[in-house]
Amino acid sequence: METSKKRPVVATIAVLLKGDKVLLVRRSNPPDAGRWGFPGGKIERGETIEEAALRELYEETNVTANMHRVFNAVDVLDFDKDGGLEYHFVLVAVLCVWVSGEPLAGDDALEACFFNLDDVNENNLAISLDVEKVARQAMEVYKNELVE
């Protein structure tokens, strides 16, 4: 059995805000292929959370940003058809603030674009679990800590 199936895998998600918009990517690979979520991926050995978030953000969207801070962590549990635990990911959410670049899908993203926060919900988009909740938390941190 692979190590990744025995222990949680730590990954990062870059929750990038630009004004009242949030950057999302449509995933090309499982889990959640075809659904919208945050740019992100596994943290490489020796890489910091910040480095991983900014690297994944650039690789998947061609956008550069500054990291503000880690503000949440989300468990993603992926089960097989029999209900057994297939994978367990721990996604460390990093609030990022746009510096430059327009979204251009790359790496394992099918699409990348900014959405108004009010449009980030299951009624408007096929989003991954907790995307709306995490985006709203990020906006609260952004307004309370970064907007003057």
What confidence tens digit (pLDDT) does each residue in 46-98 have?
999 999 999 999 999 999 999 999 999 999 888 889 999 888 999 999 999 99
- Domain boundaries of the chain, sorted by first residue: 3-145
Per-residue pLDDT, averaged over 19-37, amounts to: 90
Output the pLDDT for position 10.
95
18 pLDDT higher than 60:
yes
**Which is the CATH superfamily of the domain at 3-145?**
Nucleoside Triphosphate Pyrophosphohydrolase (3.90.79.10)
Determine which one of 51, 59, 86, 111 is catalytic.
111
CA distances from 13 to 5, 6, 18, 98 (A): 20, 22, 16, 15
Point out which residues pair with 37 in neighbouring strands: 25
Annotated active-site residue 111? The verdict is yes
Distance (Å, rounded) from C-alpha 14 to C-alpha 6? 25
Residue, of 39 and 29, whose pLDDT is higher: 39
Answer yes or no: are the C-beta atoms of 113 and 22 closer than 8 Å: no
Distance (Å, rounded) from C-alpha 61 to C-alpha 106? 6
Mean pLDDT of the residues in the chain: 92
Answer yes or no: are the C-beta atoms of 43 and 12 closer than 8 Å: yes
